[in-house]
Amino acid sequence: MSDLLKGRLKDQLKDRLKGRREEHLEARARDLDTADGLAGHREKFALDADTVYLDGNSLGALPAHVPARMADVITREWGELRIRSWDESGWWTAPERIGERIAPIVGAGPGQVVVGDSTSVNVFKALVAAARLAGDGRDEILVDASTFPTDGYIAESAARMTGHRIVPLDPAAMAEAAGPRTAAALVNHVDYRSGRLHDLPGITAALRAAGALAVWDLCHSAGALPVGLDAHGVDLAVGCTYKYLNGGPGSPAYLYVAERHQAAFDSPLPGWNSHADPFAMTPGYEAAAGAVRGRVGTPDILSMLALEAALDVWDGVAVEDVRAKSLALTDFFLECVRAYAPEGRVASVTPEAHGERGSQVALRCAEAPAVMAELIRRGVVGDLRRPDVLRFGFTPLYVGFADAERAARVLAEVLADVPAGAPAE
């Protein structure tokens, strides 16, 4: 038999095995979707069948009923009732009311979550307040060394304001590093780049044992996995609402202030909306009781009410079920990537262990910019973290197992078409 014929037979065998492998994984995806108790929630979102949307860890999909709600807010509440809507439409109480709806998703009891401002503003409030709560003699703030950049910028500013110094650390080292000089630690629950889930219960317990406060950034965990703020004794927490909570671009963030800290919570941004008697317009500031003292200025009503409507998709949903599906989805996607992708072209930087994984998969790929651009052109929407990380976020309320299989298959096709060393377009 000639070498040419041998080569052809070998290629035919490889193609046959590849086809069988794809058929097996496609069939498994169908079976998993059929058994998925959350599959019916997908129809609540404005999604098209031609796109696999795996960027909910940056911007969640639009819940389909939100536009009608916003049309009513704009035409009736604003257009007809106008100023009366502050009372008659409940605008004034929206920050606390919506906070109560987010609270169960993050494991908080009543009266501890208030919605408003951006994540950055709330990080600033929480970190300065934590430094003040810690008291004299504690002059250091531990900061997740791999934190989302803004958190680091805010921490530096908070440290300058309060006379503290910043100590950047891997979160795994914080438990041992916390000591009598530690005022607080700012930690990301899930690393935005790698998808690593940090040990919230263990780090929080170690910080509290050292007399320090734990401030957690929940942007990449809330709505994807149980957080347990009350159960684990977290002091302060912040998070955005436009990722897994699907509140829309720039939707307001939230601030959690544990009940035991509320009376002494000293916000660096006191505003008329957090005053004990806002309409008295007195020159002296007296903070309102409870988490309301985390408010600042006039709430951003349009985006806030869009968020309130978006949270309807959580009615009857247990976050534990969301977590179970998230892990199953990311497991299956990684299995498909290993089966389909050309050897050596991508490597996961997301931990395999369930206890260390959020709801995203990050793949290191030397040609990441070119690969992601082509993936998006072919209907698989993830995102990129330069220079070489492909990120795929799995939102269990609307992403299915067929989506995961298709994304991995298209990724393999793109890797076959994009040559090694290809520059970004």
DSSP run (H or E) holding 117: none
3-state secondary structure 138-168: CCEEEEECCCCHHHHHHHHHHHHHHCCEEEE
Q: Please give the Cα distance from 340 to 388 (Å, whole number).
A: 20
Is 149 one of the annotated binding-site residues? yes
Q: Are strands 360-364 and 347-348 parallel, antiparallel or unpaired?
A: antiparallel
| Burial of 89 per CB tally in 10 Å (0-12, 13-18, 19+) | middle
Is 251 one of the annotated binding-site residues? no
Is 220 one of the annotated binding-site residues? yes
Q: Please give the Cα distance from 194 to 4 (Å, whole number).
A: 44
Nearest one of 199, 206, 205, 159 to 178, comparing CA atoms: 206
Is 119 one of the annotated binding-site residues? yes
Is 394 one of the annotated binding-site residues? no
Is 298 one of the annotated binding-site residues? yes
Is 87 one of the annotated binding-site residues? no
Phi, psi of 255 (to 5 degrees): -130, 130
Is 275 one of the annotated binding-site residues? no
Active site residues: 148, 217, 242-243, 391
- What are 275's strand-pairing partners? 287
Is 226 one of the annotated binding-site residues? no
N residues, the chain = 425
Residue positions forming the annotated binding site? 119-120, 148-151, 217, 220, 242, 272, 298
Residue positions forming the annotated binding site for pyridoxal 5'-phosphate? 119-120, 148-151, 217, 220, 242, 272, 298
